[in-house]
Amino acid sequence: MNRPSRLSLALGGALLLAGPGPVSAPEGAPPNSPSSSAESPQELLVRFAPDVAEGVRTATHRAYGGHTKRRHERGRFEVVPLPPYADREEALRKYRDDPHVEHAEPNRYVERVAAPADAASDANGWWQERIRLTELETAERKAGDTIVGILDTGIQCDHPALADNTWDDGDGQCGKNFIDPDTPPDDDSDRGHGTHVAGIIGANSDEMTGVARSVQLQALKFLGSLDDGTLADAIEAIDYAIEQGTDVLNASYAYTASRTDDGPLPTSCADLADTMEGASRLHCEAVADAGEAGILFVAAAHNSGNDNDTGTVALPAGYPLDNVIAVAASRETAAGEPSDQLADFSNFGRQTVHLAAPGVGIHSTVAGDDYDELSGTSMATPMVAGVAALLLDQAGSEASHLTIRERLLGSVACDRDADPSLPRCDGNPLGDSAGQQLAAKTLSGGRLDAAAALGADPDTVPPVPPSHVSIETASGIPELRWLSSSPTARGYRIERFDTAEGTFRHVATVEPDRDRYRDRSAPSDTLLGYRIRALGSDGQPNSRWTEAGTVETDQALNRVTEQFAGFSSAERDERCFIATAAYGSEQAHQVEALRDFRDDYLMPHPPGRALVAAYYAVSPPIAEWVAAEEHRQRWVRRLLALLPTQKE
């Protein structure tokens, strides 16, 4: 953070001396001109640096025409309304340029994920048969005290089918209203969207039963009567769920962001600003905080029929987090036969949408003690959330949200003929030749199967495949990046497509905590393809392959390999001999940091290349001497730890 200038300090002091007062329109501005953005409220979310005094915050707001509406303690940000005449983008730029401000972004509207009105079905219970709920015993369909928070329009908590399964905050409320905290979290939307979602998860009446016959349904109302709400209120609701010990969050809402270029997919919340225009880092961090608290976050993939891997991306389903499950919607055929093909409206994504579940013509509860059929990924999502609640109750306190996620994704109904690398397809057979489509458009390659998930042996469930995988060149070297989200993987196997032979060849196996790999043995001036899979632990199969696409290398690679005098094979280019001897593995992250330093700072310049060549000429015998004795390894590790390349 830059040190504030004397001018900015003087300005802040002058504003403080002026004291609080109303913000007036600049001369000539209309007092009630429309907001600068029709898709967002006239508000910003501003996070100051931790040591910024209250007076400086107030002065900053006054300088840019804003004020604090409310403060969010966990995320350390403030909701800052702007005057209706203000240029929101200009105010945002000023906040971002201010040395006191750590982060600023627009507050945005999000909306329920509603489907086209003509997407309907006549078979009320088809989805229960399709995910094999009907094969489960009554006792298996009880989630007990598991709390499922429903981030939505509220719930009619006294609905006859829901009343016995609603959560109680201790004061007689079944949740909280984040739009108007002084009123109950009732569902006042025109279609009863939140109540419909709640019924799919946990209705229990003669008219219908949801996934779980017993469960704790928690109303987290942040969407209003028009089915929209703000990111700021969504964050408040997520934080409330964390405080209340919620187990699963159902997010049948979405907003969209645009991929800024053809660069890598994000693998963390911090990456969002560089890869997606319009993505909220603060909302992503709130979902990440939920994951740190052990909460599974099940999100609708959206209903625009888009590929969430490219172009316009639906969020929060596309957040690169290991506690997120993004859900697409599957359908029946026109004749009412089992299909499992994706609904025409459903978003998809081989890298970022995890599985499908039925989402067309779903019969459930709505406000007014009534029932109705709705369609959308909004309806598919609570099926996955409901099965997650059943699994949590079955597994008990020893299970983590990540192992439950792995059981859900590792037990889908799929088709190995569509992708032989699918480790297992335990669910019921897919209908209407859907296997090829689901294999190409979801990470797991399949559709939710409740009976398979609840009957799976946790020790033999395959690891979650790596997601958000992409490839680019850094300093002329192909770099593979991915999101590692399996709690059981023992590592990741990486293969490169050999265009000459037309086959994939193994290039590396890396540790389970790694999320990127540089292929220094890649040939130059050619088109390369890569794929990666998670390796199962003892008794586990491996995950399916995830392909990273292709990258064209250039002659820059020649500058690297030509300097490695005395090497007998490209494989040896991977190694830093002395560091490898000290740390015991050429894949150790400390060795990787030294290689990155070599390639990024030494190899681009003639003196650096000469130094590297000299090192490789003399280092092999020194490395052998180091590796021979443990005390020598410890001594070298202490020396290497002093290098700047080893600092966090």
pLDDT digits (tens, 9 = 90+) for 354-398: 999 999 999 999 999 999 999 999 999 999 999 999 999 999 988
> DSSP E strands: which ranges in 140-235?
142-152, 175-177, 214-221, 228-230
581-585 — which CB contacts under 8 Å span 24+ positions? Answer: 581/623, 581/624, 581/626, 581/627, 581/633, 581/636, 582/626, 582/633, 582/636, 582/637, 582/640, 583/633, 583/637, 584/633
Lowest mean pLDDT among 120-134, 326-340, 440-454, 565-579: 565-579
pLDDT in tens, 189-203: 988 999 999 999 999
Given this model, what pLDDT does residue 192 score? 94
Kindly indicate the confidence band of residue 580, based on its pLDDT and cuts at 50, 70 and 90: confident
The active-site residue out of 330, 378, 411, 543 is: 378
How many angstroms separate the CA atoms of 423 and 273, rounded? 35
Please say whether the beta carbons of 348 and 342 come within 8 A.
yes
SS3 call for 216: strand
User: Which phi and psi angles does 611 have, rounded to 5°?
Assistant: -65, -40
- Is residue 596 very low, low, confident or very high in pLDDT (cuts 50, 70, 90)? confident
CA distance 580 to 440: 39
Q: Give whole-number Cα distances, 345 to 121, 153, 305, 308, 360, in Å.
A: 15, 22, 5, 13, 10
Q: Is the pLDDT of residue 16 over 60?
A: no
- Looking at per-residue pLDDT, the higher value among 179 and 274 belongs to 179
Q: What is the rounded CA–CA span in Å between residue 499 and residue 554?
A: 16
Q: For the sheet with 546-552, list strands across it.
A: 503-510, 491-498, 527-535, 546-552
Using alpha carbons, select from 219, 452, 213, 256 the residue that is nearest to residue 355.
452
Phi, psi of 478 (to 5 degrees): -60, 130
588 with 596: CB under 8 angstroms?
no
Give the pLDDT of residue 609: 63
Counting residues of the chain whose pLDDT is more than 90, the rounded percentage is 62
Rg (CA), the chain: 27
Residue 378 a catalytic site member: yes
Of the ranges 85-99, 133-147, 606-620, which one carries the lowest mean pLDDT score? 606-620
Regarding predicted confidence, which is higher, 626 or 136?
A: 136
Instruction: Map residue 4 onto helix, strand or coil.
Output: coil
Given the residues 36, 100, 152, 186, select the one marked as catalytic.
Answer: 152
Please state the separation of Cα 234 from the chain's center in Å: 16
293 CB-near residues (< 8 Å, 6+ apart): 242
C-alpha to C-alpha distance for 269 and 246, rounded to whole angstroms: 22
Q: How confident is the model at residue 610 (pLDDT cuts 50, 70, 90)?
A: low
User: Of 61, 103, 193, 196, which is the active-site residue?
Assistant: 193
The DSSP letter of residue 588 is -
Confidence of residue 623 (pLDDT cuts 50, 70, 90): confident
Q: Which of 93-102, 294-303, 422-431 has the lowest mean pLDDT?
A: 422-431
DSSP code, position 274: H
* Contacting residues for 599 by C-beta, under 8 A, at least 6 apart: 474, 475, 477, 518, 520, 560
pLDDT in the model for residue 564: 34
CA distance 282 to 264: 21
Fold classification of 467-559 (topology level): Immunoglobulin-like (2.60.40)
For residue 552, what pLDDT band results from cuts at 50, 70 and 90?
Answer: confident
Contacting residues for 11 by C-beta, under 8 A, at least 6 apart: 59, 63
Q: What is the per-residue pLDDT for 576?
A: 73
pLDDT, one tens digit per residue, over 113-161 is: 866 555 545 456 889 999 999 999 888 999 999 999 999 999 999 999 9
pLDDT of 286 above 50: yes
CB 153 within 8 Å of CB 187: yes
User: Residue for token digits 């993505």?
Assistant: 279
Determine the pLDDT at residue 584: 72
Name the more confident of 117 and 614.
Answer: 614
pLDDT, position 245:
97
605 is catalytic: no
161-175 pLDDT, tens digit per residue, is: 999 999 999 999 999
Query: What class does CATH assign to 33-107?
Result: alpha beta
Three-state DSSP state, 342: strand
* Alpha carbon 488 to chain centroid, angstroms: 19
**Residue 561 confidence class, pLDDT cut points 50, 70, 90:** very low
| Domains 33-107 and 112-395 agree in fold | no
More confident residue, 82 or 642: 82
Q: What's the pLDDT at 218?
A: 99
Residues with Cβ within 8 Å of 427's Cβ and at least 6 positions away in sequence, in order, are 132, 411, 412, 413, 414, 446, 447, 449, 451, 452
Ranking 1-5, 132-136, 302-306, 473-477 by mean pLDDT, the lowest is 1-5
Percentage of residues in the chain with pLDDT exceeding 70?
A: 84
Position 634 scores a pLDDT of: 80
Q: Which helix (H) or strand (E) holds 497?
A: strand 491-498
| Across 212-217, average pLDDT | 97
pLDDT tens, residue by residue, 434-477: 899 999 999 999 999 999 999 999 889 999 999 999 988 877 78
Max CA separation in the chain (angstroms): 81
Q: Which CATH architecture best describes the domain 112-395?
A: 3-Layer(aba) Sandwich (3.40)
pLDDT, tens digit (0-9, with 9 covering 90-100), for 477-524 = 899 999 999 999 999 999 999 777 788 999 999 999 999 999 988 887
Q: Are 77 and 69 in contact (CB under 8 A)?
A: no
Contact 324, 355 (CB under 8 A): no
Residue 603 pLDDT: 62
Burial class (CB in 10 A: 0-12, 13-18, 19+), 395: middle
Q: Which amino acid is at 263?
A: G
CB 264 within 8 Å of CB 481: yes
Q: Tell me what the mean pLDDT of segment 52-71 comes to.
A: 95
Give residue limits of the domains in the chain.
33-107, 112-395, 467-559, 564-646
Which H/E stretch holds residue 633? helix 630-640
Q: What is the mean pLDDT of residues 566-593?
A: 60
- The answer to whether 301 and 264 have CB atoms below 8 angstroms apart is no
Q: Which long-range contacts (CB under 8 A, 24 or more apart) does 572-580 make?
A: 573/520, 573/521, 574/508, 574/520, 574/521, 577/616, 577/619, 577/620, 577/622, 577/623, 578/619, 578/622, 578/623, 578/626, 578/636, 579/636, 579/640, 580/623
118 among known catalytic residues: no
Query: d(Cα 149, Cα 20) in Å, to the nearest integer?
Result: 40
Instruction: Reduce the DSSP state of residue 307 to 3 states and report it.
Output: strand
Would you say residue 33 has pLDDT above 70? Answer: no
Q: What is the pLDDT of residue 358?
A: 96
pLDDT bracket for residue 606 (50, 70, 90): low
Question: Tokens at residue 57, please?
Answer: 């915050």
